[in-house]
Structure 1
Amino acid sequence: MAFAGNVDELALLQTVRLKKQVTAEVLAAHLGVSVSSGQAALAALVEQGKAVSSDGGVALTDKGFAELSDQLDAERVSIDEDSIADLFEQFGPLDETLSKLLEDPDADGFLDALIGIDRKAQNLFDDVSAFVPRLSRYQDLFAEALEKIKGGSLAWATAGNIDSYATVWREMRAELEGASGN
């Protein structure tokens, strides 16, 4: 559902929850909207009491968490949980492989191995997006991080303060866990 700044409210609330606290710039980059749309969406959350300004960013309030829970429950009604559970099971081995790979981004063959994992994961994420369309944005985030890594910026492999490959992967894992009922 469109929210202030033409931002999907469920995606907005979930982004704030997963990141714990966001700025308009972080939100805009994560959701693929303009910074002004991100500002409008965050301001509306604060105005409605669903979020509070804190340390230069915005974090969810109890009311925001409750709204997010209600919206996730409504979304899950339309999801084939068995199919998502199967996809989450397929995700497990990729998750283990990526976790080991990310332990040493400076290792020889790191980029080739990451590209290989990404190819396998994208097929899986295509299926995930078919069941939960709002998660399709993650594929763009993976592609953006991978391009920056290919360009030589290894921070985009593991940094926690940006939508690095590892950060986006962690968020996708959380989304899959939730959608599969785990």
Structure 2
Amino acid sequence: MTTKTSTAEFDVLHALKVKGLASDEALAALTGLASDTLTATVDALRESGFVLRREGGRISGTMITPAGREEYERLAAEFVLGDSERVAVGTFHEAFGPINGDFKRICSAWQVRPDETPNDHTDPDYDASVVAELGEVHERVSAALDAVGADIPRLGRYSARLSVALQKVRDGDTAAFARPMYDSYHDIWMELHQDLLLTSGRERGAGDE
């Protein structure tokens, strides 16, 4: 039997499985939990030894422990997808494959120009052309996320996060495209991909790299 408490705990543990080390802000974005509920849930999980808090250094946040991974698997067995959810995830997965392929190509173009020289972002016309392609991919993935979000809100929430990152890129923040650990568009995309694999129960294959 699932309860509001176990649902919130699953949501937090799932988010940490997806992201690894997560700030409170990131956990709120991933789980959709209200601030007070999120704080109480993280505190309870920490007291149970399922998560730990990392403070100081370059990055602070919450991360899952080995015991937390075991608890996640136990809870995951209770949160089995219903028929409509399985259909929605399957439909999204089919749509995501080609979009993901295009996204990887665009990321390569952002990093390396057609003449195989590194893109140093000193050519605004070239960068604008790549960002325009990213915008087209964004429209496609957002439509697919909005559709699956009707059945699985957690996946639908990625659309807004990707939109924020895209706007930062359009506003001139080149790091918001693909810089690691920056909540960049690429960071969020990788989290979406990992979330999809966890949700669907699929193993990562060659096409998922």
Do the two structures share a fold, i.e. TM-score over 0.5? yes
Residues 24 and 42, structure 1, Cα contact 8 Å, conserved in 2: no
How far apart are residue 48 of structure 1 and its match? Answer: 1.9
Residues 165 and 184, structure 2, Cα contact 8 Å, conserved in 1: yes
Residues 156 and 162, structure 1, Cα contact 8 Å, conserved in 2: yes
How far apart are residue 34 of structure 1 and its match? Answer: 7.4
**Structure-1 residue corresponding to 2:132:** 112
Deviation digits for residues 106-132 of structure 1 (CA, Å, limit 9, x no counterpart): 444011111100111111111221221
How far apart are residue 39 of structure 1 and its match? Answer: 4.8
Q: Secondary structure at the match of 1:53?
A: strand
- Higher mean alpha-carbon deviation, 92-101 vs 46-55, is at 46-55
- Structure with larger Rg: 2
**Structure-2 residue corresponding to 1:62:** 66
When residues 129 and 29 of structure 1 are mapped into structure 2, their CA distance, relative to the original with a 3 A threshold, is closer
Q: Secondary structure at the match of 1:74?
A: coil
Residues 82 and 180, structure 1, Cα contact 8 Å, conserved in 2: no
**Structure-2 residue corresponding to 1:75:** 79
Deviation digits for residues 8-54 of structure 1 (CA, Å, limit 9, x no counterpart): 33332122122212233443455566777655443332112111234
How far apart are residue 175 of structure 1 and its match? Answer: 1.8
How many residues end up aligned between the 2 structures? 180
Which aligned pairs between 1:90-169 and structure 2 lie closer than 5 A?
A: 90-105=95-110, 106=121, 107-108=126-127, 109-169=129-189
**Structure-2 residue corresponding to 1:22:** 22
Residues 149 and 155, structure 1, Cα contact 8 Å, conserved in 2: yes
- Higher mean alpha-carbon deviation, 142-151 vs 76-85, is at 76-85
Which 5+ residue runs of structure 1 have no aligned equivalent? none
- Give, as a single letter, the amino acid of the residue that structure 2 aligns with 1:57: G
Residues 8 and 33, structure 2, Cα contact 8 Å, conserved in 1: no
- Give, as a single letter, the amino acid of the residue that structure 2 aligns with 1:73: A
Among the aligned pairs, what percent are the same residue?
A: 25
Does the alignment pair 1:53 with 2:53? yes
- Higher mean alpha-carbon deviation, 69-78 vs 41-50, is at 69-78
Residues 25 and 38, structure 1, Cα contact 8 Å, conserved in 2: no
When residues 36 and 147 of structure 1 are mapped into structure 2, their CA distance, relative to the original with a 3 A threshold, is farther
Which 5+ residue runs of structure 2 have no aligned equivalent? 111-120, 203-209
How far apart are residue 101 of structure 1 and its match? Answer: 0.5
Structure 1 distance, partners of 2:37, 2:182, is 19
When residues 154 and 35 of structure 1 are mapped into structure 2, their CA distance, relative to the original with a 3 A threshold, is farther
Residues 157 and 164, structure 1, Cα contact 8 Å, conserved in 2: yes
Instruction: Give the counterpart of 1:88 among 71, 81, 93.
Output: 93
Query: CA RMSD for the aligned pairs?
Result: 2.7
How far apart are residue 57 of structure 1 and its match? Answer: 3.0
Residues 158 and 164, structure 1, Cα contact 8 Å, conserved in 2: yes
TM-score, scaled relative to structure 1: 0.82
